[in-house]
Structure 1
Amino acid sequence: MLAVLGPGAVGGLIAALLHRAGEDVVVVARPGSARRILTDGLRVRSEMFGELTAMVPVTTAVPPGSAVVLAVKSYGLPDVLPGLRAAAPTEVLALLNGLGHAETLREVPNAVSGSVQVEASRDDGTIVHRGQYLIVNVPAGGAARIAEALRRAGADVRVRGSEQDILWRKYSFLAPTALLTSWTDLPLGQALEHDPDLTRGVVAEVAAVATADGWPATAQDLDAFLRRLPATMMSSLQHDIRAGGPTELEAIGGHLLALGERHGVPTPTLARVVGELRSRVSA
C-alpha cells in the first residue's frame, strides 16, 4: 500500500493522480481534513492532467508497513514523526522544501529525501495545478517502489544523484524564488525586476552559501536559471504569507542565514529580506 502523508496542494495532487492510475493508495490526514476528503474527495484542476475528483480512501494514521510519500510542510514534520516511525514504513520519500528536514529523517527507517518541482495551490478547497510539469527527483537507490508508482501516475520521475545534490538543486532556486516573490508579493518575473540590486544580492548570497555547503554554484548560472522559469510563477511561501497562517519562512530563509553563519559567508541582503518577512509574518 502507498500512503500520502500530508494531503495539501502537492500531496493531494499526488494522491489524486495515484488513485486515478489505479494504485492502492490512502491519504493520511488530520481528523478534520480526513472528514472533508472522505465526503468531498480530492478535487483537482490541472493544466496538465485536466479536472478530476478522486475519492481516495482516508485514514488518520500511517498504515503499518506502507510506502509513504511524505508531503507535509516543514513546520508540520515534528507532529507526524512519531506516527511515521511507529508504522515501520517499507519506504519513505520525503518531498519537503529546504534542507534541514533531511537530517531529522535519518531516524526514520527506509527514508530518503527527494524533491518535487510543481506549482500547485489550494483555491476554495480545489487543488490548482499550474503549468505542464510535475517533476519528482528521487535519490539513486532509494524509494524505488514509490518512484515506479509515480511514473505510472504521470509524474516525470528522475532518479539521480545523492540527497544533497537533489535537495540543493531545488533549494538553490526555490530560496530566491520564494523570498523574492514573497518580499515583493509579485509573480517571479516582476519580482526579479522590482529591485535589481536586491535581486543581485539575494542570488549572489544564495550561490555563495550553496558553494560553501558543498554544492558549487555561481550567481550568473543561478540568475539565468531563475529567468528561464515561468514569469507568472508564484511561490507556496507567498501563498502562505497571504493566507496569514503558518509558513516555511524559517525552513527556506532562516536555514540559509544559519548556513551562512556556519560557513562564514556574509548574507546581508538575505538577512534584510528574511528579517522584513519575519516582521510581516508576526504582525
Structure 2
Amino acid sequence: NTMSPSGWHILGAGAIGGLYATGLAAAGVPVTVLTRDTDSAAVLMREGLTVEEPDGHELHARPLAEPVVAGGASIRRLLVVTKAQDTVAALELIAHRLGPETRAVLLQNGMGTADAVHLRFPRLMTVIGTTTNAAYRSTPRRLVRARRGETWIGDGPLPLPVIERHILSEALAESGLHAAWDNDLKLRLWHKLVLNCAVNPVTALLDVPNGVLAGTGPARTLVAAVCIEAAAVMQAEGLPADARTLIEQVVRLAHESGRNVSSMRADVRAGRTTEIDFINGYLLARAQAHGLQAPCNRTLTELIRLRTATAGGAA
C-alpha cells in the first residue's frame, strides 16, 4: 500500500465534499478528490477551492485530484459524500482500490446506504456518518458554508475495532470541521431522518423554501402526521421517541433554514432522481418490517416518485 497513512480520498465532489477537501488540504493533510474526468481533476488542482465561512472569513486550498476511473494505489481512508442513490455505483468505479485496510466513511442523507453498500461489498469496513454542516456552491470553485455544524460517525454493518474509533474521528477532525465518534449514532440518524422525511418531500412537491413548514395550519398538520408515524416506527426500532418533540425539532429547523432550498426540491427542479428511497422510503420499509402503517409517509413517497417519473427525471 503506497498510500500515506494519514491521507484521505473524497468520493463525491459536492458542497460537503468540497468543504472537507478544502479543510484537510489547508491543514496540510494529504487529500485527493476523485473527480468524474481528467479535465475536472486538472482544473481543481490548478484553481483549488475557496470556502466562505459564516463569519465572512475565507479559506482557500488546492487539494490533489484524480479521475475516479484512474488506477492507483489502494485507498486507506475514504470519505463518501455522493447522493445516497449513487453510492454503490460510485464505489464500483474504485472497487479495485478498496481492500481490507480501507475505512470508508459514508456521509449521506437518509438511511439504508450502508446496508446497500454492505450487500455489494460485504468485506468493506464502512463507518456511518451524519453532519449538521450546511454548504452550497455559489460558483464552480466557491463554496458558501451556510451553517457551522457537527459531524458524528459510528459503526456500520461491521463494527470498527475500538482502538480505531478515536483515530478515525481525529483524522476527520483535522479538516477543522467538528468530527467525533458516537456509540449511539442510530438515534442521531433517526432524528435527522425524521427532519428529512418532513421537510424534503413537501418542499419539493410544493416548490417552496423550508420556512413554509414553520407556518401554522396545514403545514403543521402535515408535519405532525409525518412525525407521529415516525415516532411509532422509532419506538418499534427500540428507540426513545416522542412525536411532540420531533414536531418541535422539524418546526425549529424549518424556521432556522427558512430560505434554504432543500436537496430534494433542488433535485426535482433539475429533473434528477431523488433520495426518497433512503428517506421516507426507508421509514416505510422499517414500518412494514414492524407491521406498522405509515399512510402519510407512503403518500409523500409515491407523490415524489410520480413527480420525478412525469418530469422526465425517471432516468
TM-score (norm 2): 0.80
The 1:122–1:279 alpha-carbon spacing in structure 2 relative to 1, beyond 3 Å, is: farther
- Counterpart of 2:227 (choices 188, 203, 215) is 203
Aligned-CA RMSD value: 2.4
CA contact (8 A) 1:182 1:238 kept: yes
Between 180-189 and 210-219, report the one with greater CA deviation.
180-189
Q: For each residue in 1:47-86, what CA deviation from the matched residue of structure 2 results, as whole angstroms up to 9, or x when unmatched?
A: 1573333221101247414211111111211222232463
Are residues 1:251 and 2:273 paired? no
| Residues 171-190 of structure 1 aligned to structure 2 (within 5 Å) | 171-190=193-212
> Alignment length, in residue pairs?
282
Partners of 2:136 and 2:267 lie apart in 1 by 10
- Counterpart of 1:235 (choices 262, 265, 268) is 262
Residue in structure 2 matched with residue 110 of structure 1 by the alignment? 125
CA contact (8 A) 1:112 1:163 kept: no
CA contact (8 A) 1:190 1:231 kept: no
Secondary structure of 2:109's partner?
coil
| Residues 20-35 of structure 1 aligned to structure 2 (within 5 Å) | 20-31=26-37, 33-35=40-42
- Counterpart of 1:72 (choices 73, 77, 82) is 82
Partners of 1:40 and 1:246 lie apart in 2 by 30
Unaligned runs of 5+ in 2: 1-6, 156-161
Unaligned runs of 5+ in 1: none
CA contact (8 A) 2:33 2:66 kept: yes
Are residues 1:134 and 2:149 paired? yes
Q: For each residue in 1:199-231, what CA deviation from the matched residue of structure 2 results, as whole angstroms up to 9, or x when unmatched?
A: 211121122222222323121010112233214
Q: After TM superposition, give the deviation of residue 17 of structure 1 in Å.
A: 1.0
Secondary structure of 1:153's partner?
coil
Residue in structure 2 matched with residue 58 of structure 1 by the alignment? 65
CA contact (8 A) 2:21 2:33 kept: yes
CA contact (8 A) 2:151 2:179 kept: yes
The 1:251–1:91 alpha-carbon spacing in structure 2 relative to 1, beyond 3 Å, is: same
- Which structure has the bigger radius of gyration? 2
Are residues 1:168 and 2:190 paired? yes
Partners of 2:45 and 2:52 lie apart in 1 by 19
Residue in structure 2 matched with residue 2 of structure 1 by the alignment? 8
Partners of 1:166 and 1:102 lie apart in 2 by 15
Are residues 1:46 and 2:61 paired? no
CA contact (8 A) 1:113 1:167 kept: no
Q: For each residue in 1:6-60, what CA deviation from the matched residue of structure 2 results, as whole angstroms up to 9, or x when unmatched?
A: 1211111111111111111111121154344234322333315733332211012
CA contact (8 A) 1:84 1:108 kept: no
Secondary structure of 1:122's partner?
strand
Partners of 1:84 and 1:90 lie apart in 2 by 11
Partners of 2:230 and 2:40 lie apart in 1 by 36
CA contact (8 A) 2:212 2:219 kept: no
| Residues 243-282 of structure 1 aligned to structure 2 (within 5 Å) | 243-282=270-309
Residue in structure 2 matched with residue 17 of structure 1 by the alignment? 23
CA contact (8 A) 2:54 2:146 kept: yes
Partners of 1:14 and 1:273 lie apart in 2 by 33
The 1:48–1:266 alpha-carbon spacing in structure 2 relative to 1, beyond 3 Å, is: farther
| Residues 75-86 of structure 1 aligned to structure 2 (within 5 Å) | 75-82=85-92, 83-84=94-95, 86=97
CA contact (8 A) 1:120 1:128 kept: yes
Q: After TM superposition, give the deviation of residue 163 of structure 1 in Å.
A: 4.7
Secondary structure of 1:114's partner?
strand
Between 208-217 and 47-56, report the one with greater CA deviation.
47-56
Question: Which letter maps to 1:263?
Answer: H
TM-score (norm 1): 0.88
Residue in structure 2 matched with residue 212 of structure 1 by the alignment? 236
Residue in structure 1 matched with residue 159 of structure 2 by the alignment? none
Residue in structure 2 matched with residue 122 of structure 1 by the alignment? 137
The 1:124–1:65 alpha-carbon spacing in structure 2 relative to 1, beyond 3 Å, is: closer
